[in-house]
Amino acid sequence: MNISKITLSFLIGLLFTGLANFAYAQTEEYKLDGMTFGMPEAEVFTEDYDGPPVVGEYLTMLPNLKPLDYEGNKHHEVRIDIVAQEIEVADGVKYKAWTFGGTVPGPVLHVKEGDKITFVMKNRSDEEVTITEPTKEGSPFMQQVAENNFMKAQPGTMPMPHSMDFHAGTVAKDDKWRSISPGESIKFDWVANYPGSYIYHCGTPSVLMHTAMGQHGVVVVSPKDGYGTDYEVDKEFVVVQSEYYLKKGAGDLYQYDFEAAQSVNPSHVVFNGHQTILHDQPLEANAGDRVRLHVSNNGPSGTSSFHVIGAIFDRVWLEGHPFNEMRGMQTVLLGASSSATIDFIVPEEGKYILIDHEFADAEKGATGTLKAGPRK
C-alpha cells in the first residue's frame, strides 16, 4: 500500500516535472546581450480565413520599403498566406508559381531591431486566391499589386505542403518552420534580434524546388540606432536577385526544370522577380542624391556580384548590420541568401545600370536601371 502510494505520487510528480520542463522549454522568454530568445510553441490549426492573403502595415511590394514611422519597438501582427499563382516572369514566360502572398518574391516586411512579430500563415495552395483586386483591408502590398499587376498574376491551385523560414528569426526550426498541409494555418512569434536584410523562404524539401518555384522574400530589420548616414539618404529601395529554372511545358505554361536546377543553370536571373521590371519601371533619383539599396540575393543557388555601372558604393553594410561597414566598393559579392545595405551617391543626370557583374547572369536578366534626373 505504502509502496504503491509512493510510486503513484512519484509518478505524478514525474509527470508534472515533465510537463513543467516541457512548458519551460517552450515558453520561457529570456534575454541575452539585450536580445530576446525563447518563443512559445507554434500553433497549427485550421481556420475559415478567406480574406486578403497579406496583412500588416509594414508589408510592401518590391522595390518599396514602408518607412518606419514609430518610436521604440512595435509588436507586428503579420499574415503572409501561401497561394499558387500563375505569373509572368519574362515576356511570354508564365508559370504556376508557389508564392508567399501571390508574387515572386513575396512582400517586403520592414521592422525594427527588437520588434516582435506574431506571424500567421495559411497554406491556401489548394484555393483560388485573387490577389489583384483592390481591397481596403490587408496591407499596402495588396493595394500595390492591384495597381501594378506587372506579373499578370492569376489565381491557380497547386496543393503542396509548405513552410516558412525567416532568416531574420532565431527559433527552433522544427517547431516554427514546420511544414503545414493545404488548408492548415500556422502561427508563431519571433523577435527581430539582429538588424539587417534577411531572406525568408519555404524550407519544405525539396527546398531547392520550393525556393526556385518562387517561395522567397525579404525582411528588412532597421537597426535601432540607424546607420551613420541615415539623415543624408534621399531614396531607399529594395532589390532582390533570384533565379528561375523554367522550361516550356505542354501548354502555354512553363514548368520547373529539375535538371537545370540541379546543375545551377537558370533560365532567367532576375531583379525583383521579373526579367525586365527594373528597366520597365526604373528606380528614380536625382544627381547628387544619396541612394540606399537593400540588396538581397535570394538564390536559391546562384551568387551575385552586384555592381552599379557608373557609381562606387560609398558605404556598404554587409548583411545590413551597421557594424559591418565597408567603403568604396565597386561590387559586392553576395552568396545565396546574403545581403548588403548599400549607399551610393548618384554622380550626375543619366541612367545607371544595376547589374550582376557575373555577366552570364546579367544576360539572363539580372540588370535594372536607376534613372537620375538633374541635380536639385
Partner 1 sequence: MKLLTNIASVATVLSRWTIMVALLSFAADIAWAQQNRVLVPSGSFHSVMPEVEGEAVKVNTFYLDVTAVTNEKFEKFLDQNKNWQPNEVPAVFTNKGYLKHWKEEGQRPDYEDVGRERPVTNVSWFAANAYCQWAGGRLPTLNEWEYSAQLMDFDSSTEINEFTTKLVSWYSSVDTKNIGEVGSTGIKTRVGVKDQFGLIMEWVEDFKPPVADELSLDCGTVGRMQQLGNAYSYAASIRYITRMSYNPRSSTSMIGFRCAYDDIDSKFKLEEEEL
Residue ranges that bind partner 1, judged by CB under 8 A: 46, 48, 95-96, 126, 157-161, 163, 165, 173-174, 177-184, 203-209, 213, 247, 249, 253, 255-259, 262
Nearest approach, Cβ of residue 19 and partner 1 (Å): 23
| Residue 121 binding: pick among Cu ion, partner 1, none (C-beta 5-8 Å cut-off by kind) | none
Give whichever of 172 and 353 is closer to partner 1, judged by the CB atom: 172
Number of residues that bind Cu ion (CB under 5 A): 5
From the list 182-190, 192-200, 203-211, 284-292, the region that binds Cu ion by CB under 5 A is 203-211
Nearest approach, Cβ of residue 201 and Cu ion (Å): 8
155 in Cβ contact with 83 (< 8 Å): yes
From the list 44-52, 159-167, 287-295, 355-363, the region that binds Cu ion by CB under 5 A is 159-167
344 in Cβ contact with 289 (< 8 Å): no
| Residue 334 binding: pick among partner 1, Cu ion, none (C-beta 5-8 Å cut-off by kind) | none
Nearest approach, Cβ of residue 25 and partner 1 (Å): 17
Nearest approach, Cβ of residue 125 and Cu ion (Å): 8
Give whichever of 213 and 220 is closer to Cu ion, judged by the CB atom: 213
Q: Which 79-138 residues touch Cu ion, going by CB under 5 A?
A: none
Rg of the chain over Cα atoms, rounded to whole angstroms, equals: 22
Nearest approach, Cβ of residue 246 and partner 1 (Å): 9
Cα separation, 13 vs 248, whole angstroms: 63
Q: Which residues contact 230 (CB under 8 A, 6 or more apart)?
A: none
Cα separation, 346 vs 66, whole angstroms: 22
Cα separation, 189 vs 244, whole angstroms: 31
Q: Longest C-alpha distance within the chain, in Å? A: 94
Cα separation, 67 vs 69, whole angstroms: 6
Q: Using the structure block, give the residue that is written with the C-alpha cell 548618384.
A: 346
* Member of 110, 122, 162, 268 binding Cu ion (CB under 5 A): 162
Strand partners, 4: none
Q: Does 210 bind Cu ion (CB under 5 A)?
A: yes
Q: Using the structure block, give the residue that is written with the C-alpha cell 504556376.
A: 96
Name the DSSP class of 107.
P
206 in Cβ contact with 288 (< 8 Å): no
Q: Which residue is nearest to Cu ion (CB)?
A: 202
**Interaction site with Cu ion (CB under 5 A):** 162, 202, 204, 210, 215
